[in-house]
Structure 1
């Protein structure tokens, strides 16, 4: 009898929670942007097409130009400021980031020459080259392409990034509160992340043991120096944040750049006339006797326009990372409550008919003015939205 009574009480409480949630949602709907009515607890989870989440989100979105995102927190501010400053001024008179990229580009070319013209899969060569640039900045040294630990790291990053593009991962990102409590294959990404974090943590321990506070050699050293200063008791410079900041540099940089390069090669194979124009510009500005430099960019408008069009057209990150609204916000007459997750859909920007003529076509000319100079486009967000 007691078991029946307890079960009835539990069922009654659950019904009350569902009704309260539905009532709250109903009262808020008049102020929220228009969209499908969410279910209690589940939200719009069951209304999405799991085989094409992005298309589903585009259909339910209230406004294709809704591109406002928010980020918050002192941790984010301190980490972002430190990372940008350190990367911008990296080296303190030593080798610049540009020199490291030039060195790695030469190593990549030598690796490609080894194929002797035979067919090969460029995926891991490109990934290792980009990853090595980040390793050089973060750890202070590059790795040989055949180094076992380096190969394992890049396979993990590749697997984690590929998983992030699956519909299952996008559902997980959209409904973490539900799916993180349910066992299943959607936890694969988290397992890969933990392995990458373990690699980074081991490397940090090695650098802690040899750290010279007066002569930091790389990004991790600079962060460890900040940790030792401890001038502000509320500082965010902790070991945990060092690990996660380094992880973000690898994950955000390695596969995004290498995937863009792969898409670029495939696109250029389909557009030989674009290849020819780029070759002509390279021969005229750089020639064959030296490596390209950042200064060459201003004198190569067609190449610059092509790189921008590759980023727009490939659209490798159609769904940006979530941002949280830090306070109740009025936007175009609607109320977005504090704590709401906002997901900018970058595809709606890159393929907006109002901003791009024939967006489904690959056309570097859209980034060129009438006199052939490079022209910026407002509807261009390959590096996400928000700050």
Structure 2
């Protein structure tokens, strides 16, 4: 009899709980932009294709306009579409929309292995973010450790890459791993002060762990984690692999930091870690300093995540396009012959005299659309935006990064990069999008591969330099040859949940 008495009580309690959720959702929904009606607890999970968020967002944009709301569980997400809307939010209202939204799986993984909550540049807010970002930008901009600039380190690595590719002797190969080695070694040189041999076991371990971490971050499981973070923390699944990978990466970087501390000379900084250690020494008497070991490790890790697969994938996309369009390779090599020649390494300044090459590189980034859904933002105060009200964020005391409640804002960058309003053939690869009628390079405002506003990618300058120097160095030394007829090559990127990656392919390089 007791059981029959409990069941009605549980049923009534569940119904009451759901009604409260619906009522709260409806009260909030009146302020937020329109969107599909969410279900209690599930939100819009059943109305979104989490294997292809881009397609889902494009469909919702057509139905609801350039600003709409979706629910991840009970959490509202405001999606911004189109250049004018995104610019107005991130640039014109930079302070209001300048918070960092939750990166659920990454935040959870960090918090298990560092004492300071949510460290580093990417995942933080408030004073920590301002100080670490300012330091990172200034250090990278004024980089001269060991009397070698960042560009010299890129040029050096590009030459090592050329040497490795010569050993292929014209046989077909997949360039993915070679480019990953080169791009990652640039970050290693900047951060650790030295490059690795491509066969080095520590280097292979580092790259393999970063690659596996990216694979998890782009997986469908992480999308589910964003809908049900509390539930996915306790359920088994691949989402827990990221925590193990992060532990390995944090330990690897911590060991490198320890090695630096043992040979540290504040008067002669060798690399990024030394510069950070010097700042730690300078502020050691400040108990509130953000320049602590945990933030050093996390900031270095941020640099690796931002500067490895992203840059390598962009160059890979460029190579597969050149295989499909040999006439574009000829155009770039004509500019190389005219501006650079074959007796010196390409310099980033050369791009000012190479409009076609610069347009081609911009078109790679636009066409690949590597991050169509930008890293989440948060409003730092209640935002009245284009007739809607986006509620203010509130955070736990003493924790500047992770919101207890509030509204996440996601810029849908693909709505800009594939816009027919700004690009004549948005679904086709066309360097002419960035060339005027006289063949001069043309800047397009609606081109935001690195985001915009206060949260624009701090590694933008480094990435642009790497892509230009490495790509032109390869074409300075080699002709590219496809393993099949170039008309048969598919250059369309592959969809991976909320991102795009280039297709895997084989090519041959023939010395010029």
> How would you bin the TM-score normalised by the shorter chain?
over 0.9
Counterpart for residue 104 of structure 1? 157
Which position in structure 1 is the counterpart of 2:262? Answer: 209
The question of 1:23 aligning with 2:23 is answered: yes
Give, in whole Å, the separation in 2 of the partners of 1:316 and 1:4.
56
| Equivalent residue in structure 1 for 2:138, among 57, 72, 85 | 85
Change (3 A) 1:39 1:92: same
Contact residue 304 and residue 374 of structure 1 kept, 8 A:
yes
Query: Higher strand fraction: Structure 1 or Structure 2?
Result: 2
Distance, in Å, in 2 between the alignment partners of 1:307 and 1:90 is: 24
Q: Does 1:266 align with 2:320?
A: yes
Q: Which runs of 5+ in 1 are unaligned?
A: none
Alignment of 1:218 onto 2:271: yes
Which secondary structure state, in structure 1, belongs to the residue aligned with residue 147 of structure 2?
A: coil
- Indicate whether 1:150 and 2:178 are aligned: no
Say if 1:79 and 1:236, in contact at 8 Å, map to a contact too: yes
Higher relative contact order (CA 8 A, sep 6+): 2
The worse-fitting range, judged by mean Cα deviation, of 65-74 and 83-92 is 65-74
Partner of 2:75: none
How many Å apart are 1:85 and its aligned residue? 0.3
Query: For residues 11-57 of structure 1, what are the alpha-carbon distances to aligned partners after superposition, in whole Å with 9 as ceiling and x for unaligned?
Result: 55544333222111101212211101222333222321133222113
> Larger deviation: 361-370 or 131-140?
361-370
Contact 1:344–1:385 (Cα < 8 Å) also in 2: no
CA-to-aligned-CA distance 1:71-103 (integer Å, 9 cap, x gap): 241111111100000011112571100000010
Residue in structure 2 matching 1:321, options 354, 371, 375: 375
Q: Indicate whether 1:49 and 2:49 are aligned.
A: yes
- C-alpha separation between the residues in 2 aligned to 1:139 and 1:79? 18
- Aligned pairs for 1:260-339 within 5 A: 260-338=314-392, 339=406
SS in 2 for 1:343: strand
Q: 1:355 aligns with which of 422, 429, 434?
A: 422
Asked whether the 8 Å contact 2:131–2:290 carries over to 1, the reply is: yes
Whichever structure has more helix as a proportion of its residues is: 1
RMSD (Å), alpha carbons = 2.1
The answer (yes or no) to whether the contact 2:145–2:269 under 8 Å persists in 1 is no
Does the 8 Å contact 1:58/1:345 carry over to 2? no
Shift of 1:2: 7.1
- Whether the aligned pair in 1 keeps the contact of 2:42 and 2:227 (CA below 8 Å) is no
Match of residue 195 from structure 1: 248
Which of 170, 173, 188 is matched with 1:117 structurally?
170
Distance 2:342 2:228 in 1: 52
Q: Is the 8 A contact 1:137 1:219 kept in 2?
A: yes
Q: 2:411 aligns with which of 336, 344, 351?
A: 344
TM-score, normalised relative to structure 2: 0.72
- Local SS of the residue matching 2:389: strand
Per-residue displacement from partner, 1:217-260 (whole Å, max 9, x unpaired)? 11011111111222543221111111111111001100000011
Contact 1:285–1:299 under 8 Å retained in 2: yes
Q: List runs of 5+ in structure 2 lacking aligned partners.
A: 67-80, 90-96, 100-124, 393-405, 456-512
Instruction: Give runs of aligned pairs for residues 140-179 of structure 1, distance below 5 A.
Output: 140-173=193-226, 176-179=229-232
Structure-1-length-normalised TM-score? 0.93
Work out the CA distance in 1 between the residues paired with 2:19 and 2:341. Answer: 71
Moved more, 137-146 or 171-180: 171-180
Q: Which residue number corresponds to residue 70 of structure 1?
A: 98
Per-residue deviation, 1:265: 0.4
- Indicate whether 1:246 and 2:246 are aligned: no
